[in-house]
Structure 1
Amino acid sequence: MVLSKEEKLILASDPMTPEDTLISLAEDDDEEVRIEVMWNDNVPDRALIKIKDEPYLHEKLEFMSRDGEEFSEELIRGMADSNNEFVRRLIAYSERCPPDVLRVLSDDESEHVRIAVAANPVTPPDILEKLSKDKRELVLRKVARNENTPLEALLNLAEHDFHLIRRCVASNRRLPEKVLEKLSEDDKGDVRYCVAGNPNTPVECLVKLSDDKFYEIRINVVKNPNCPVEILDKLENDEVDTVRKRAKEKKDCR
């Protein structure tokens, strides 16, 4: 039986429509019908995979994520080669993305997809090692923050010429004390700021940073969970009112 467009639209939007029918309608020549299928509350993954190249599909996936839905492995694998880079990016961000799919996406031509792989907390170390040599600065910054990044890669990034990358390294909780000590003397304030907030930063560095010329860094020293009471006592008499208040609040909470 041949259905009219109106009948197709009704079926495509009806949450009671059988899955097989929605999968069939997902291949319809009419874009409006396919879009209705996409936004059906009960659309099956197989139907979404049929329309993986639709220009607006990423909006549906974003909605699913905000609604607390987790992508199935079937959906992830089916969407990984979508022509829509925003779809691939969302797949690369998913913590359920299998390592072999992340490995493929780590070679994606889109910087945004590689950024997502680099930021994903389940990305394997060997993939992060490769991405630590990426030419794009934003990719390197995500690698520097990822706690799965191998130590050798972090050490190399800690020597990077661009201070925003060193700043990201300085915030990584896997960074050894010796590297934090070196970065605590960085000539860029934002790097020292991240060292001041890193819970692995040695007390000796916190003592030194508590005298930093930038009051924001002194505040971050106060916020550090390992900040000793002696530093708090000193910063209670800081020349900047905000620093004094934060130091007093921290002491009162102990």
Structure 2
Amino acid sequence: MIHSAEEFIALRDSDNKEEYDRSAFEEAPLAVWRDLIQRYPDYRPWVAHNKTVPVEILAELCNYGPDIRQFVATKRRLSRELFILLSQDPAATVRQSIAVNKKTPLDILQSLAKDEDADIADSATRNAGKRA
């Protein structure tokens, strides 16, 4: 378990593969994730990258720029609400990540298949077609 924002940063920045991997695979309390998000904005993508980060924290990360939202949109264990929110994002890169996400619900893919951006529409159509 990761016990502080500073511990996460030390693990993430480590040259030791075992320590670096801990930053991607170990859990942390909600307070630690929130502290990281608030005090260390450069580490927000790495919070999203962690395999154990709670959906609640992923939702909080959606309050930041399109680069962070795009990172969140690649996650497979999003809530339905987050899939919907990110599928309607003003940034095409975020919608594209939802269009190719293997866990995006079919009805959301069908909606993205009508996106004004042809690449997003095509990706959503192909992703939906793989499930038929």
Same fold (TM over 0.5): yes
Q: Secondary structure at the match of 1:206?
A: helix
Give runs of aligned pairs for residues 122-133 of structure 1, distance below 5 A. Answer: 122-126=25-29, 127-133=32-38
> Is the aligned partner of 1:113 residue 2:17?
no
Match of 2:76 in 1: 173
List alignment gaps of at least 5 residues for structure 2: none
Q: How many angstroms does 1:146 deviate by?
A: 2.5
Structure 1 residues 218 and 124, CA gap change in structure 2 (3 angstroms) = same
Match of 2:120 in 1: 217
Question: 1:125 Cα deviation (Å)?
Answer: 3.1
Instruction: State the partner residue of 2:45.
Output: 141
User: How much has 1:171 moved relative to structure 2?
Assistant: 1.1
The number of residue pairs the alignment matches comes to: 126
Q: Percent identity?
A: 24
Offset, 1:107 = 4.9
SS, match of residue 133 in structure 1: helix
* Structure in which a larger fraction of residues adopt helix: 2
- Alignment-derived partner of residue 195 in structure 1: 98
RMSD: 3.3
- Unaligned runs of 5+ residues in structure 1 are 1-98, 229-249
SS in 2 for 1:195: helix
1:183 is displaced (CA, Å) by 1.2
Quick check: 1:180–1:201 contact (8 Å CA) kept in 2?
yes
CA distance in 2, matches of 1:146, 1:223: 28
Structure 1 residue 129: Cα displacement? 4.6
Distance of aligned partners of 1:206 and 1:135 in 2 relative to their CA distance in 1, 3 Å threshold: same
Q: Measure the CA separation in 2 of the matches of 1:118 and 1:143.
A: 13
Bigger relative contact order, structure 1 or 2 (CA pairs below 8 A, ≥6 apart): 2
Check conservation: 1:184, 1:195, Cα contact below 8 A. yes
- Does residue 62 of structure 2 align to residue 158 of structure 1? yes
TM-score after normalising by structure 1 = 0.42
Q: 1:119 to 1:133 in 2, by over 3 A?
A: farther
Give 1:204 deviation, angstroms: 1.8
